[in-house]
Amino acid sequence: MVVAVWIVTLVLLLVLSVAVVMARAFTRFRRRPANGPASRGSGAQPGRSRIVCFGASTVHGNVSYNIVDELARRLPDHDLINAGVNGNTSQQALGRLPAVLACKPDAVVVAIGANDVLVLRGSPLGSPVPRDFKDRLTWDGYATNLTAIVDGLRSSGARVALMSIQPIGEQLDSPLNKDVDRANELVRRTATVEKVTYLPLNERLAEEIRRHGTGRPAGEGVATALKAIVLHLGLGIGLDRIGRRNGYLVHTDGLHLNSRGGLIAADLIENFIRQDAVRPS
């Protein structure tokens, strides 16, 4: 009887511990960046440029390498604002445009579209989105949203850059990455037509993967991504360690970036901020 009581107690404690870790992970996943638009006033301090990075999880930086914090370390004389929200599509980002404009940015880097690709594919990796948003998610709609975001940002006088979507998984010729390529063609075309800067993140990461990667694909199930969220945000395990366990070079879970991938993105953005602009070819 005593042994049975101890076993039940241990099982209950284990279940409780798992529940606490899961709750901690997903509370942190939903938490907005501390240096987000809501935390800043309507203008930078005198002598400081205000830079906004605008997008989804690649920008948000709590399940992907935190590019914005990296840039803040590199550019202490600039005011870096993180307008990333995990899981956002281009339609949802467009709805947040007024909050970005209220920051009165000098420059904005837009990195949005991976979730559009996943939702358009019907992939379980795609974040749940409101039905009215999902109904408007088409390839043409994605291009229209990009154009509307750029037009709104330029109306404020800010310099604008569009950054291409990272590969999803490291099998570059996979059907999933064919759709990423299709989305990135729309990003390039929008940058060309709207005459804004194009930052070739996908191309740089693809070069790195071709040189050193294993070609590991991204599974279209949610298990790997959920496990990475729990390990990192629930248990505090580093993104690079998670990426190595999963067999990736620049990713943690096939979608989000580890430090190797994130630093490549930070280099591109830093060059843009320093006006070493990369134009679409």
Over residues 54-67, the pLDDT tens digits come to 999 999 999 999 99
Predicted local confidence at residue 254, as pLDDT: 93
Nearest to 232 by CA among 34, 76, 86: 86
Cβ burial of 194 (10 Å; 0-12, 13-18, 19+) is middle
Identify the DSSP state of 230. Answer: I
| Euclidean distance between CA atoms 198 and 204, whole angstroms | 13
The residues spanned by each domain of the chain are: 31-273
Predicted local confidence at residue 112, as pLDDT: 98
How many Cα atoms are found within 13 Å in the side-chain-facing hemisphere of 215?
A: 3
| Euclidean distance between CA atoms 172 and 133, whole angstroms | 29
Q: What are phi and psi of 221, to 5 degrees?
A: -85, 170
Sign, CA dihedral 70-71-76-78, equals negative
Query: For tokens 């935390």, what's the residue?
Result: 39
SS3 content of the chain, % helix, strand, coil (to 5): 55, 10, 35
Q: What is the pLDDT of residues 222-257, one digit of tens each?
A: 788 888 888 887 778 899 999 999 999 999 999 999
| Euclidean distance between CA atoms 83 and 68, whole angstroms | 9
> Which string of DSSP letters, residue by residue, matches 231-245?
IIIIT---HHHHHHH
3-state secondary structure of 258: coil
Predicted local confidence at residue 149, as pLDDT: 98
| Euclidean distance between CA atoms 36 and 87, whole angstroms | 16
In 90-172, the DSSP E strands lie at 107-111, 159-163
| Euclidean distance between CA atoms 279 and 13, whole angstroms | 57
CATH architecture entry for 31-273: 3-Layer(aba) Sandwich (3.40)
- List per-block mean pLDDT (blocks of 10 residues) for the chain, which spans 281 residues: 56 51 65 84 68 97 95 95 96 96 96 95 68 73 97 95 97 96 98 97 97 86 82 84 94 95 98 66 39
Predicted local confidence at residue 67, as pLDDT: 98
Predicted local confidence at residue 35, as pLDDT: 92
How far is C-alpha 207 from the chain's CA centre? Answer: 20
Q: Give every CB contact of residue 126 below 8 A, 6+ residues apart in sequence.
A: 115, 118, 119
Q: What are phi and psi of 196, to 5 degrees?
A: -120, 170
Cβ burial of 16 (10 Å; 0-12, 13-18, 19+) is exposed
Predicted local confidence at residue 30, as pLDDT: 74
